[in-house]
Structure 1
Amino acid sequence: MVLEIALLNVRPGQTGAFESAFARAEPIISRVGGYVRHELHKCLEDDHKYALLVWWETLEDHTVGFRGSAGYQEWRSLLHHFYDPFPTVEHFVRVSTP
């Protein structure tokens, strides 16, 4: 399993609109093959920063399957205009389990 972590900086004054748009975008990502689950977290110290965590079966489920889909174009349309700068996205695999 692969964990995608995207650090999102939402333009000041746009957090409410972003959260509403994200709620509309959630079903898009959840329909993609290889999607496992996701969580959106808001930063306590800076309320316009978010961390999006998405679990995928494989890296390619995200980088090829999702990003190459028509759904991704809809996702982009709903969300990408809120970000400044554009998010940092990285992928991780588990190396330790408590």
Structure 2
Amino acid sequence: MILEVAILDVKVGEEKEFEATFAKASRIISSMQGYISHQLQRCIEKQNRYILLVNWGKLEDHTIGFRGSEQYQEWKKITTSFLRSIPNS
């Protein structure tokens, strides 16, 4: 099992809408082969920062299976409009 850690900096003022929309994104990622679980945690020091933790069966489930899929394109479409920059992961 591997753990993906992504830092998501959301545009200030869009945090609640991001959290609501993330439920749809969660359904996408959880349907992928090799997906085990995930958590989205909000940073208390910086209110618009979130940490996304995703457990995958193996590295390729994330790097090839998810990132190379049509579902990833949908994931990006749903999430990136809220982000200040490309996530660090």
Q: Same fold (TM over 0.5)?
A: yes
Q: Give the TM-score normalised by structure 2.
A: 0.96
Percent identity reads 47
1:88 aligns with 2:88: yes
Where structure 1 has 5 or more consecutive residues not aligned to the other structure, the ranges are 90-98
Question: Whose radius of gyration is greater, 1 or 2?
Answer: 1
| Separation in 1, partners of 2:32, 2:9 | 24
- The alignment's C-alpha RMSD in Å is 0.7
| Separation in 1, partners of 2:19, 2:39 | 12
Q: Give the TM-score normalised by structure 1.
A: 0.88
Where structure 2 has 5 or more consecutive residues not aligned to the other structure, the ranges are none
Match of 1:58 in 2: 58
Match of 1:70 in 2: 70
Matched pairs, number? 89
Q: How does 1:40-51 map to 2 (within 5 A)?
A: 40-51=40-51
Q: Which stretches of structure 1, 4 residues or longer, exceed 6 Å deviation after superposition?
A: none
